[in-house]
Amino acid sequence: MLKKWVVVCVVFLMAVTGTMQNVQAASFKDMHKNTSSLYVEVNYLADRSIISGYPDGKFKPNEPIAKKHIAAMLVQALDLPRTNLRDPNYKDVPKSHPYYNEIAAAYNAGLFSNAVNFKPESSISRAFMARLMSKAFNLKVHKQGEESPRYSDVPPHSEFHIDILRVSSNNIATGYPNGTFKPNQLITRSHFSAFLARALTTRVMNIMPDPNYTYYYTDGSSNYRYEYDRKEENGMAYWRIHNETKHEKIPRLGYMQNSWSYAEAYDDWFHYDQYIPSPFVVTQIHSANDIGPVNYGNIWITETNAVKTVRKIEYRDVLVMENYMPWDNKTVFEYYAKDIGLIQRVDSSGKELYGLVKRVKKTK
């Protein structure tokens, strides 16, 4: 299985959200934000009209999803052409079929192969889902070698091995705690929605601060200066923080990011365990053992390529996280810019709690 190391992150500087989009805009009666683990992925697609619920306001997340609906979702998500299509000649999908155009569009894009029948009402397995995502998004294996995911029920000679490796290494679909992938298990509505949302948002990006700059932040009452300190052999890069208003030093802040995860840690500071997988995808962040939500609140990555303006500077490729803290019923949004790091932290009203004022290039 994938080798994972714990990511430590302090509530003072949590990870983040981009456009403070109302994730609850398309909420369904049977999916609740703080209890449904795939809530953010389902609503990401619903907010973009890629998927919808039933007339009774429910989503029915555990119902199997039919191939005709999978085709429709892929066509919508990928904005595939729906005119001048070659007839796939499936015997069970005549041109009068209500989903003919969507199925034909997906077929013409190479997502479905030649066959006598399409079986539009049937569902698909997790293995076939991996193949679909691999084709639809032209996925590559993010990293091979010792840290590549391995599953006890997906041997190297399996016809779906490379497809499963591609979706796993891009954090689109991971396995189960017992080391299996369950390739033959049929896909539900919520699981396919989650895989599609993650495939649409997977991003390989660096959100560590640049050591060639000095960073200046404010929390409204104090101003802070971040200066690069050192880098340890384990890859943790430490920054020294100075409270310039109170003229005092704060314990060092450490950052680490490799191809699999990102970390923040304070020296001599009470911290929390948190695992943030990389490549980043829209999803809920789980505890270090990947079972259940983090035990100090719920955290979601809600955007991976947002645009955010802070102090008249527009940042692109912004990673956005939302952190709900149940002990005081508060929600905090944070924003990280590519190759820069934290740029802003705000509360649910939009009030800035912590923000980047400027960064200054160091002179040699």
Residue-level pLDDT at 261: 60
- CA geometry: angle at 324 spanning 337 and 280, to 5°? 35
Residue-level pLDDT at 285: 80
Query: What torsion, rounded to 10 degrees, do the Cα atoms 66, 69, 71, 76 define?
Result: -160
Strand partners, 342: 336
Higher pLDDT, 325 or 212: 212
From residue 330, alpha-carbon distances to 35, 85, 172, 322 in Å are 16, 51, 29, 10
Rg, C-alpha atoms of the chain? 22
193 touches 161 (CB < 8 A) = no
Distance between CA 281 and CA 200 in Å, rounded? 8
Higher pLDDT, 178 or 265: 178
**β-strands 223-231, 7-9 pairing:** unpaired
Identify which of 144-158, 267-281, 344-358 has the greatest average pLDDT: 344-358
The pLDDT tens digits for 266-311 are 554 444 445 577 889 999 886 544 433 344 458 899 999 999 999 9
Residue-level pLDDT at 276: 73
341 touches 209 (CB < 8 A) = yes
The pLDDT tens digits for 199-246 are 999 998 888 889 999 999 999 999 999 998 887 776 778 888 899 999
User: Alpha helices, DSSP H only, in 79-186?
Assistant: 100-108, 126-136, 161-169
Which pair of tokens denotes residue 110?
Answer: 């190479």
Q: 321-360 burial, b for 16+ CB within 10 Å, e for fewer?
A: bbbbeeeeeebbbbbbbeebbbbbbbeeeeeeebbbeebe
Going 182 to 188 to 191 to 194, the CA torsion angle's sign is positive
Chain position carrying tokens 């990870």: 15
Taking 70 as the threshold, does the pLDDT of residue 339 lie above it?
yes
Identify which of 20-34, 118-132, 160-174, 244-258 has the greatest average pLDDT: 118-132
From residue 362, alpha-carbon distances to 15, 215, 227, 231 in Å are 26, 10, 10, 17
pTM, to two decimals: 0.85
Residue-level pLDDT at 265: 57
Distance between CA 194 and CA 167 in Å, rounded? 12
